[in-house]
Chain A
Amino acid sequence: MLDSFEIVSTSGVVLWSKQYVPVGANIVNSLIRDIFIEDIRTSGDPGQKPTYKKEGYTLKWTVAKDLGLIFVAVYQSLVHMTWIDKLLDNVRTLFTGLYSEQLKSKKYSSTEYPFDDYFDRQVQELESKNDGQPATPARRIPTTDTTPPSSSEGESAPAKPSVQGLKVPNRSIHADSSADATPVPTPDASRPASPAAHILQAKGLRPGGKLSRRDRQRAKTASPAPSSGDEGRPTSKGGKKSNTKKNRVWDEFGLADHADDNTQLDYSAPADLDEATSQAVEHVEESTWGKRTGKGEFVLKDLEDEMDEILSKVSAGKESSSNSTNGFVGSSLGAIGGLFRNVVGGKTLTEADLEKPLKGMEDHLLKKNVAREAAVRLCESVKVDLIGAKTNSFTTIETTLRSAMERALTKILTPTTSLDLLRSIQATNRTGRPYILSIVGVNGVGKSTNLSKIAFFLLQNNFRILVVAADTFRSGAVEQLGVHVRNLQELSAREGGHIDLFQRGYGKDAANIAREAVQHATSADPKYDVVLIDTAGRRHNDTRLMSSLEKFGQLAKPDKIFMVGEALVGSDSVAQARNFNASFGSGRGLDGFIISKCDTVGDMVGTLVSMVHATGIPVVFLGTGQHYADLRTLNVSWATTLLMK
């Protein structure tokens, strides 16, 4: 069962919502944060809409990019609902179709959207459609719940399974009966027309139209009253006639449907109706007929017809737009206009316009050492953003694309959380615990070097540091760290810094050494503030080596795990980032990247983007040289300028 359905604008206002069961706002909030802002990808079948799971709820969504709307359906993960995709699509077309004017106006967020009726119809329709097929019991319960209000009799339930089959007979019966019925009141020109109109109406009916037919009848019996009240008696006859005429046929429709119990369907007085029809028929003229039908239909038009109209209009529009660009004159004029607009601006961008510049942009990014996967995805997201948008005055497509790409890069590289290492160390130390920081990475990327740079930076802030040599594999690794520690001790001795090395030699289990080191740091007097753990380099696609990281993470319980990646590496960076991020088991991932050797690549800093793009984890530090002080934090605008240069 659907729990909640919301239509949210990108500015954060809920435009319309329907809650069957109260669902906390945090569910949708986390969807927006994770999917729309952080851009975490979800797995799912390509043909289906993506899903997002949170706290036992499953969320499906669709967007109307041009209007800035998000349509979200929330339901319990236990329930399997097949028709949500269809519902989302239908609601999107309906909502945008019905309220396109209001949504484009400035005050769209404070407008009321009376969408409830439309939505209920859609849900009923889709639910009943589903009932035609073998349905699970879970799905059947809601329909029996919802049907009683619309149909007062219980007989609708047994009739339900055969609805699909009834559709065709219905129509033929109805055509027959109308032909039978009409001769009585009139031999007029209106007669041949009326069955046709009714058939048209009948065509609009859905398989599950039984309920709606009644609703329609009810709506109809209600609607003539005000119109006849407004107008004078004689003039109202025309309108009334058409209504009653249809009414009568619908009535008959109903009769044909349940031949045995015909009386209960008749809500209005039948004698009255006949009288009205026979009276009205005398006044029928050819000229008023058309107008009347138009008017009559307008009065009769119920939600379902309106909905069908909108839905069919949209699908028709799709078809026509696909084959609209033919004809020589039209296309060449369009081309000239397009060229002109490309210079002057104000052009609405289409996929064809963007194809070539996007290819150029992709090549540009590849030249900047962005991995192909990341470049393609970036271009895709920018394309989705730009299609349907208008270029500003005096800007070309290329400029628009550039600024859009800059925005996308800034968004990706900007960290979500604070990266202030000093503050988090202080916060952790306040609880009486040392801050544990470990560093992982592929062989030879500069793990030990960057570790000692971080140590130097922390020493300057007067922290007591314990460096742990957990690389028990590569010969010379412990000695290398020893040299670094000795150097740092000498450098910081005057400033009162304190740094020690914790080592257990080679061949031991790294995870156990790390745990021992943490215990040592906690029990030492005075306590160490920060524990820096160096690990052995490992190939990211070697499952045997990577699997030991999970144990390491569990035993050492690091506050932060940083991965060192080279700026030199190309498309492998994506796989590196992903594999290391996944290697610590579920619930634990990397906390940041350190991109080393940035001074060797000039402006080709694409690795930054590739790694962040693959995982959504921010870049914390950049290594920019050979000295201890050559460690920098990332300046996002600096990186984007380099990339777009």
Chain B
Amino acid sequence: MAWHDQDSWLTWVFSPSISAIIVTALIALLLPVLIHTILYRTQAQASTASFLLLGPSGAGKTSLLTLLERGSTSATHTSQTPSSAEITLPSTIKSASNEYRSENDSSFSGAQRFILTDTPGHGKLRQFASDKLDAKTLKGIIFVVDAANLSKESGGRAEEGLTEAAEYLHDVLLALQKRYTSAKTSKGPKELPVLIAANKFDLFTALPEKLVKTELEKEITNVRNTKSKGLLDSGIGTSDDAVEEEKEWLGDGGEGKFEFRQMEEVNVFVDVIGGNVTGADGPGVGKWWEWIAKQI
């Protein structure tokens, strides 16, 4: 029975019989619904927002990850490998894209989730972090610093803490700036917010948010100055594309004082928010939750 026969299925489809009409109507009605549900489901799960946890060793990155993941902290040690976890926002906080969405919407819970990637903060292992900076789904960077280990006056150990944090932050911001300046399109990459999470606010010696910000800005200015006066590195001049390898300076061409505000030119928005992962009165990470919720 070929398709052009009298009683083939094609003839039946075009015949004005009641069964053919019913079948056509069913297909016409159900197909859009089916396609909608399929697309809707896949869309909602396709791109989960991801965040990157950076910061010097001992700032509390892994603790923060475990706290956000399971609601309680666990003992941690120096990390050697990155790890990531899928985290759901607490029910009290709605993510920005969920603001007008009903809680019964199937995509609601999808937009409440995000992936948080913890990276080792040790100096030798920061390559893991820099590899992940240009991920497509990256919605923000959380740079954890130890607010109790930043004050200049206390000298010694704390000063090292500030220097280390500032150097790392300088490198991260420079990488983000390069991402913007070396972009192929004129529009540049999407904006990328950076949260400087001043951790350990439960401690007596912790600096307030404002001071954390100014101290870091001051120290980054110092880092930038000495970097600009320092020697060229061995990569320059030896490789063939020497013209492209010009040094870049962070913010405003490397002149004057550095401020986080200058980074907005390259679509990087920096916030400094305090909180604490552990503490006698329980963790205080509510503001960080809200910041994360604002980005997804």
A residues lining the B interface (CB < 8 Å): 6, 8-14, 17, 25, 28-29, 32-33, 36-38, 68, 106-107, 109-110, 407, 410-411, 414-418, 420-423, 426-427, 457, 460-461, 598, 621-622, 624, 631-635, 637-639
Contact = CB atoms under 8 A, between A and B. Distances in A.
B231 A621 contact: yes
B263 to A, nearest CB: 22
Contacts of A635: 233-236
Contacts of B23: none
B226 A37 contact: no
Contact of A10 (B80, B167, B233): B80
Contacts of A460: 229
Nearest to A39: B124
Contact of B77 (A28, A426, A624): A28
A11 B124 contact: no
B124 to A, nearest CB: 5
A110 B234 contact: no
A25 B77 contact: yes
Given A13-B62, A37-B125, A634-B234, A422 B81 contact: no
A12 B119 CA distance: 10
A622 B235 CA distance: 11
A638 B77 contact: no
B127 interface: yes
Interface in B204-248: 222-223, 226-227, 229-236, 238-239
B80 A37 contact: yes
Contacts of A13: 62, 66, 74, 76, 83
A13 B120 CA distance: 12
A12 B74 CA distance: 10
Given A12-B80, A423-B222, A423-B226, A633 B75 contact: no
A632 B233 contact: yes
Given A423-B222, A638-B239, A10 B234 contact: no
Interface in B76-131: 76-83, 85-86, 118, 120, 122-127
Nearest to A72: B77
9 contacts: A8-B77, A25-B77, A29-B58, A106-B86, A107-B85, A417-B123, A423-B222, A624-B234, A635-B236
Contacts of B120: 12
A418 B163 contact: yes
User: Top 6 A-B pairs ranked by shortest CB distance?
Assistant: A12-B79, A11-B83, A635-B235, A638-B235, A635-B233, A14-B75
Residue among A8, A11, A37, A461 having the largest count of chain B Cβ atoms under 10 Å: A11
B259 interface: no
Contact of A109 (B57, B66, B126): B66
Contact of A11 (B70, B79, B230): B79
Contacts of B163: 418, 423
A631 B66 CA distance: 45
B264 interface: no
Contacts of B164: 418
Given A12-B120, A110-B66, A414-B123, A420 B76 contact: no
A314 B207 CA distance: 53
A422 B83 contact: no
A29 B77 contact: yes
Contacts of A631: 231
A407 B70 CA distance: 32
B75 A11 contact: no
A390 B82 CA distance: 18
Interface of B: 57-58, 62, 66, 69-70, 74-83, 85-86, 118, 120, 122-127, 159, 163-164, 167, 222-223, 226-227, 229-236, 238-239
B62 A12 contact: yes
A638 B81 CA distance: 24
Contacts of B62: 11-13
Nearest to A458: B229
Contacts, number: 131
Given A8-B77, A422-B229, 13 more contacts: A10-B79, A10-B81, A11-B80, A12-B118, A13-B62, A411-B125, A416-B123, A418-B164, A633-B232, A635-B235, A635-B236, A638-B239, A639-B234
A17 B163 CA distance: 33
Given A110-B69, A411-B124, A417-B123, A422 B226 contact: yes
Nearest to A457: B231
A38 B124 contact: yes
Given A110-B70, A420-B226, A422-B226, A29 B231 contact: no
Contacts of B238: 638
Nearest to A412: B124
B118 A11 contact: yes
Contact of B234 (A11, A12, A457, A598): A598
Given A110-B85, A423-B223, A638-B238, A29 B232 contact: no
Contacts of B222: 423
Contacts of B127: 407, 410-411, 414
Nearest to A19: B75
A422 B222 CA distance: 10
B233 A37 contact: no
B230 A33 contact: no
Given A109-B85, A423-B222, A12 B77 contact: yes
Contacts of A68: 81
Given A418-B164, A638-B239, A37 B122 contact: yes
A8 B78 CA distance: 10
Given A8-B77, A13-B76, A461 B231 contact: no
A414 B234 contact: no
Contacts of A106: 85-86
Contacts of B234: 598, 622, 624, 632-635, 638-639
A638 B231 contact: no
Nearest to A620: B231
B63 to A, nearest CB: 9
A69 to B, nearest CB: 11
Given A422-B230, A638-B235, A639-B234, A12 B76 contact: yes
Contacts of A415: 123-124
A13 B83 CA distance: 10
A29 B232 CA distance: 34
